[in-house]
Amino acid sequence: MNRRIPWRKRLLVRLLVASVLIAVCSVAATAWLAVATTTRALREEQGQVLAEDMDVLARLSGYAATHADWRGVERTVRELADRTGRRIALTTRDRTVVADSAAPGTPLPPRAAATLDPLRVDTFTERGAQRTGVDPRVVGPYRLSAGERAKLDVLAGQRRKCFARNGYDTVIVRAPSGRPVVTDHDGPVAGGTVPEECADGRLNTPTPTEDKALDDLSARITACLEKQGTAGPAPQAIGVDVTGLGLTPRYLTGKPSTPGEQWDRAAAQHCTDQARRAQLDPYVAPVAELFLGGGDTTAVRFDMSPANKAKVVGVAGLVLAVTVVVSAVVATRLVRPLRALTAAAQEPPERHVRVPVTTRDETGVLAAAFNELTERRERLEAQRKAMVSDIAHELRSPLTNIRGWLEVTRDGVVDPDPALLASLHEEALVLQRVIDDLQDLAAADAGTLRLHREPVRVDELLGQVTAAHQVAADTAGVTLRTAVQGTPWLDADPVRMRQALGNLVSNALRHTPSGGTVTLSAGRDGDEVVLEVADTGTGIAPEDLPHVFERFWRAEKSRSRRTGGSGLGLPIVRQLTAAHGGTVGAAGAPGEGAVFTLRLPAGEPPE
């Protein structure tokens, strides 16, 4: 049989397809993981860099808000550069370097990261809080003296106790100017409504320092309004927050002159902002540009350009190519022994072809098992041929004798006297015995050998076998005796057990010379009954022991009737013993006799 295997079902093709699919999935999963990881890392890094930029901007803006110039800022710049690991540079509007963490002569980045102007800020010192206007840390002439702070601290403590008596939990917050402000955690106390007993107004009253600064601010606002030609009473006075916390109180910068006057509120607010910046300008550092980064280089960015795409595709193609090549090599090495096995199995049975074992993996184990199966099949074939030859030999001899005597009797050469008839009858019994033995072996091989089990007393069984062979033993001049220890019992078929022991005794008498002894013994050994047939005959050679229970095997190759039987007695003993759940063994040496041992499960005596 040499059927052609379709390509889609070949092991090599399936291995290649599986390898390619695995490679594709691996490349796709790796690419997805790399992209996801890189994206997440970039986002985290961008967030970290943004937070560091906010810290740098807040620190330097605070420095500008509390110093009249940039002298001494170099220390702060280097501290921030060491902490962030980035270059930090401050320059004037015309890019004159004020402070730089890089070496002198290092070119600046192309663009400034931010402009530092505490009088015009967009970012508050707290992250996430956006506020347009003056940096709250710029206090200028509004900074309180130590004595004023002490007086206001006492008033703030009294105000806090008053709030506590009315059921409000408050805290005292220190403004950049040094003024204490009583507030709660969520905003204005009591929603901006102060209890009557706490509204004494002393804490909110401007101090002399604040009065002086507010008068100066009011004069500046009035001058601005007059310059713009705006005058008239305001429906609501303009206020300025000098606490720096966006909380009340808001101090009035002026009062309506006459009830009928009207103010332009937009112009008034503009003049207020302009006047306040002019008032605080001498107390803050000049406007500066903030540069972040490293020289004229920019940060590395991941750009999925055509070149990068080509690299990804090239690497993926290379991985696929290597996978296919490796899979092809491995699959070829796996398939080669299988093809050799297939070719050997397709050879004619009589050739008994073997395959070379080249590996020690599963394929090598399969090849070794195939060779072992071939050897076993070859041995069985040889045994079958030998058995057929042996059966033909065993049947040919008695049939030849019977045919010869019948032909001469038919031709009148001899008379059919009782001696001739007895000889023909003996040859017929030989044929019948061979056929019966073959039938028993066939039934045992097929598992149809019937056993009629019953409790059997071993000493009685040995006595029956001895009595049946006593005449043959006396004729051969051999002593036949028994020896039984205790009273063992068997659960066995008595007829089959007599047959098995009878075959052993017949074999022993045949090989024991005159004057010898054949002993049948039995005894209990744990859960087993041991039966032995020992003789003092010629013994068994060590090389013959493994073959004594093979069918039609005899030590005498001449197969003479005078020295051996049909060669089926011992195989029948083995089959009958196995059918009873026992084992049989042989031992002996040339000139020392032979011992055949049967081990059978012990039985219980009948009730």
Apex CA 408: angle with CA 404 and CA 413, to 5°?
Answer: 150
**C-alpha span between 381 and 253 (Å, rounded):** 125
CA neighbours closer than 13 Å in the CB half-sphere of residue 13: 6
Burial of 118 (0-12, 13-18, 19+ CB in 10 A): buried
- Considering the domain 347-448 in this protein, what is its CATH number? 1.10.287.130
Looking at the DSSP assignment, which residues form a beta bridge with residue 588?
A: 594
CB contact set of 16 (below 8 Å; sequence gap of 6+): 324, 327, 328, 331
- pLDDT recorded at residue 454: 92
C-alpha 345 chain-centroid distance: 39
Residues forming beta bridges with residue 456, ordered by sequence position: 490
Beta bridge mates, 96: none
Dihedral (Cα; 5, 7, 9, 12), 10-degree rounding: 100
pTM of the model: 0.43
pLDDT, averaged per 10 consecutive residues of the chain (607 residues), comes to 61 72 76 69 61 82 88 90 86 89 86 85 48 76 90 89 85 86 70 74 84 86 80 45 45 46 68 85 90 55 59 74 78 78 81 78 77 83 71 72 82 81 77 73 70 90 90 90 92 88 88 92 92 90 80 56 60 86 90 91 86
> What proportions of the chain, in percent to the nearest 5, are helix, strand and coil?
50, 15, 35
Q: Where are the domains of the chain?
A: 1-104+304-341, 140-283, 347-448, 450-601
Q: Provide φ and ψ at 517, rounded to 5°.
A: -135, 140
Q: Measuring CA to CA, which residue among 85, 75, 89, 77 is closest to residue 52?
A: 85
Q: Would you identify the CATH topology of the domain 450-601?
A: Heat Shock Protein 90 (3.30.565)
